[in-house]
A and B are shown apart, each in its own frame.
Chain A
Amino acid sequence: MKMNQIVFPLALALAATLATTGCKHTPMKVTPIPGSQPAPVSDNNNSSTLPPGQPINNDNGPGANNNAPGGGPTASPDMFDNMIKDPAALAANTIHFAFDSAAIKKSEDANLSAVASALAGNANDKLLIEGNCDERGTEEYNRALGERRALAAREALAKQGVSPDRIRTISYGKDKPADPGHDESAWSKNRRDDFILLHPKPGV
């Protein structure tokens, strides 16, 4: 840097002298700088190879026990450790939403009742609600909208007597389309909540 600060004004002064002595509009040839060094360009450290990301462990980071002041009304994530996902059990009960809406349609009542009875039938089972969006929204807006859709179903199930403690929500935004197409037929399938029944692992 020191070198630059010296070389640059020297070059400027020299060049200014040349300019005032009659250099016109013609593009200049590179002006050699007598006795000076070229400006060194540093290869800053992040252009060399970055080390790979280390594994991330499911250890006790902040949030692992939902231990924020005030506590949240959502269930602690570690309650859902050691559960086995059963995506087939409630696959027929997926509910769908209108564009940019998290309001649960009246027509989805039967699906929600089926989900509620499945949980009522086995007190040890829990539920994962996956909220999803179509592709017509910005990414993080959709991630929030997907969560809102999952939480809306959780609230509806709570009204049918399911304890919210048994329900975990996850939003995939537009990252998990049921149909990867780009028309209304695909979009209407993608604006949805999938219900995944969770069974306790045998012996746990």
Chain B
Amino acid sequence: MKKIIISLLTIGLASIALRGARAQEIQIENTINVLGQTKPIPIALSGFTGEGAEVLKFDLTVQGFSFVTPDAAQYLVSGSDVGGISGSLTDKFAKRVLLSRSYNGASLRRQAHAFANDIVEAVTGKKGIGQTKIAFKSQPSGYGAGEIYVSDFDGANAQRITTDNAIVAKPAWVPGRLALYYTSYALDNPDIFYHSLTTGQRRKIAAYSGLNTSAAVSPDGAKIAMVLSKSGSANIWVCSAEGTNVKQLTYGVQDSSPCWSPDGQWICFATERNGRRRLAKVPAGGGTVQYLNTTGAANPTEPDWSPDGKWIAFTSQMGDFDICVMPADGGASPSVLVGGQNPSWAPNSRTVVFNRSMGYRQILSVLDVFTKQSKDCARATGSSSQPAWAK
């Protein structure tokens, strides 16, 4: 946004637009986002058909917009997807065109994602998530052997990246790189592997006796948190990105699902205390375990810390599974949002990908935690779960 404002300054004609943009930024900063209860931004779409409309609706719905009639909308998007995406965005209240643009190259889908990103940025000042990726596992029969997949965040363009026909689990991205860590039983034990998506090269990272699973990469990419049982119980350990310098961090009876705070100082995980499931955090360098208050969301597991540091999403099991989000500083009780498991934050710290039950299999779904709006991802065959959002 800064870059755009500076460029505008060089054009005398744009002084009106500049004042408008500033006023709008202030308005957005004053908006308080309440989990699950924030009013979506009303927007109307005209002129798009088929895939272009589908992509725009998906992307904007999971970033806090809702589609209404032009009368009820604050923002109007009009344009065309004939021979490529072109369109404009008008703020009806301010009587201003915020954006008018056409796109070429790549696929129509990708152009529509780019347009959605421009709309999000023009309205909210935040970067859109339209061009981001997820990794996940998919199992043909809902249990047992499966493979790791990488796709667009909406499930489109899914590519299988393993062919081991083995049980796999918990893919995790290396921040800013086309590389994953994941668990595979390919060598007849749950072991952790590194997999470069650019070369296909794979390396064994942890293959101790017993459990080696749930790799989570530190924000600087230098360390891995994981679950090992080599000491006689499933606990949280850390090691270097190569698997060396292994250090035990926790000593509970049953610990699982480590994740990092975005400043790299803490590891949050699921544990058990006095016979009850709890979430806790431990300093990444080792130290005293602190238990988190998740009152109102029983049996918490699978925490994931938002990239802006403000929130922790997790799964609560109260009969069925629910996606919950709470402030990371413990300042408020968790909000129970929608049914599902395995939440993973998008880079925008407001959208979460998770899996939910459909019959006896799992499908991927994307949730805007502030408005509680969600959309199911493109269906892969079989059962898809444990999505990880590339950041």
Contacts and interface: CB of A to CB of B under 8 A. Distances in A.
Instruction: Pick from A7, A173, A174 the residue with the most CB of B within 10 Å.
Output: A173
Interface stretch (B52-60, B104-112, B326-334): B104-112
A185 interface: no
- How big is chain B's contact interface, by range? 35 or more
A173 B188 CA distance: 14
A28 B101 CA distance: 12
Nearest to A174: B143
A76 B13 contact: no
Contacts, number: 314
Contact of A25 (B92, B101, B247, B321): B92
Contact of A74 (B70, B103, B232): B232
B232 A13 contact: no
Interface string B188-204: 11110101011111111
Interface string B208-248: 11111110000000000001011111100001001110111
Nearest to B45: A27
A30 B208 contact: no
A147 interface: yes
Nearest to B85: A41
B143 A177 contact: yes
Contact of B202 (A56, A138, A174): A56
Contact of A39 (B114, B208, B233): B114
Contacts of A41: 103-106, 110-111, 114
Contacts of A203: none
B86 to A, nearest CB: 5
Contacts of A62: 204-207, 239, 242-244, 246
A6 B114 CA distance: 17
Contacts of B301: 137-138, 140-141
B46 interface: yes
Interface stretch (B31-39, B161-169, B367-375): B161-169
Contacts of A114: none
B256 A143 contact: yes
Contact of A19 (B90, B133, B233): B90
A39 to B, nearest CB: 5
Q: Which 3 A-B pairs have the closest CB atoms?
A: A61-B204, A15-B97, A62-B243
Interface of A: 5-20, 23-25, 27-31, 33, 37-47, 49-56, 58-59, 61-64, 66, 68-70, 72-77, 102, 135-141, 143-145, 147-148, 150-151, 168-177, 180, 182
Interface of B: 3-4, 7-8, 11, 13-14, 16-17, 20, 44, 46-47, 70, 76, 78-80, 84, 86-88, 90, 92, 95-107, 110-111, 114, 118, 131, 133, 141, 143-144, 150, 152, 157, 159, 161-164, 167, 169-170, 178, 184, 186-191, 193, 195, 197-214, 227, 229-234, 239, 242-244, 246-248, 253-257, 270, 277, 301-302, 315, 317, 321, 341-342, 360, 385-386
